[in-house]
Amino acid sequence: MTQLSLPSNPDALKVGLVQMAPVWLDREATLRKVEGYVTQAAAEGCQLVTFGEALVPGYPFWVELTDGARFNSPAQKEMYAHYLEQGVVIERGDLAGVCALAAEHRVAVYLGVMERAPDRGGHSLYCSLVYVNQQGQVASVHRKVQPTYEERLVWAAGDGHGLRVHPHGAFTVGGLNCYENWLPLLRSALYAQGENLHVAVWPGGMHNTPDITRFMALEGRSYVISVSGLLRPADVPAGIPLYAELMAEAQATGREFYANGGSAVAAPDGSWLLEPVLGQEGLFTAELDHALVRRERQNFDLAGHYSRPDVTELRVDRRRQSTVRFSDGD
């Protein structure tokens, strides 16, 4: 086990944002790349390392670019079957390598995956944000409650089971997937549990992160990490279905990126600790100080002294949804 010295400031936390391109639609190869970055982040003293939305095995960029809404299209069915086959089955141990590294280095990980969920039959995919704690345990799996626009053609709707926060030193950390970060009720569900470090994961796109990252920091008086992926036409492997169609589209449009990053970190006063990073792959780090959270909560604490639960109240169902409940008698 790597022995990390405790920070001299108990309020301090070093975080890593990995803005990387997956080995697109290849689960095992992408996980090996993720594991390499976890090791690198630990070597640089990070206590929390974060990755983008749907990173393993990758975001379904083909849907909007290759006539993905055509009903009963053999090409789209073939692509979906390939995507499903590359999905992450947590119960099978697909994340065992990431969990082992987290335990070895005492580093927590937020990782976006396409989850192939046996508890829902195993033939649909869920956009899931997985939290692996410093003991190497999968502590929560948040399935995106509502896929966005064309995502609904390949992703199933999730539930509230993963709307949970986790202690990490002086901090309480929670996270949401992509456009979930625009949903005030989901944000409020995390604020009510004491969240003061928010992880927002994105497939990648500078259009997503500059405004909402700073807004959430100001609203929650919390640190906000927005971590994005990257993908370029050159990252698309030649052997996948729809390869020719994707390359033709990229050539016709002069496309340089499917996802160009935008990873960033905002402080509880809305200032940038890390301004959005465009088009670069790599590990980016930031040092957080919980004392700033406490100072900013002096005049606004959404779930505390500025709340009025006698006037407004939020109810959250955190049961894992299922289509069936069995009662087996003796």
Rounded mean pLDDT of 67-91?
A: 97
Active-site positions?
53, 144, 178
Does the pLDDT of residue 11 top 60, yes or no? yes
Task: Judge whether 100 lies within some domain.
Answer: yes
Q: Which of 230, 166, 227 is nearest to 201 (CA)?
A: 227
> What confidence tier does 99 reach under pLDDT thresholds 50, 70, 90?
very high
Does the pLDDT of residue 208 top 50, yes or no? yes
Task: Judge whether 320 lies within some domain.
Answer: no
Question: Average pLDDT of the chain?
Answer: 95
pLDDT tens-place string over residues 221-272: 999 999 999 999 999 999 999 999 999 999 999 999 999 999 999 999 999 9
Both tokens of 34, joined, read 């993720």
Task: Judge whether 304 lies within some domain.
Answer: no
Rounded mean pLDDT of 161-184?
A: 97
pLDDT value for 274: 97
> What confidence tier does 5 reach under pLDDT thresholds 50, 70, 90?
very low
Task: Judge whether 1 lies within some domain.
Answer: no
Cis status, amide bond into 57, omega within 30 of 0: yes
Task: Judge whether 129 lies within some domain.
Answer: yes
Task: Judge whether 302 lies within some domain.
Answer: no
pLDDT tens-place string over residues 112-162: 999 999 999 999 999 999 999 999 999 999 999 999 999 999 999 999 999
CATH number, position 213: 3.60.110.10
Task: Judge whether 60 lies within some domain.
Answer: yes
> What confidence tier does 330 reach under pLDDT thresholds 50, 70, 90?
low
Does the pLDDT of residue 2 top 80, yes or no? no
Task: Judge whether 214 lies within some domain.
Answer: yes
Both tokens of 176, joined, read 């949401």
Total domains in the chain come to: 1
Q: Which domain holds residue 289?
A: 12-296
pLDDT tens-place string over residues 20-76: 999 999 999 999 999 999 999 999 999 999 999 999 999 999 999 999 999 999 999
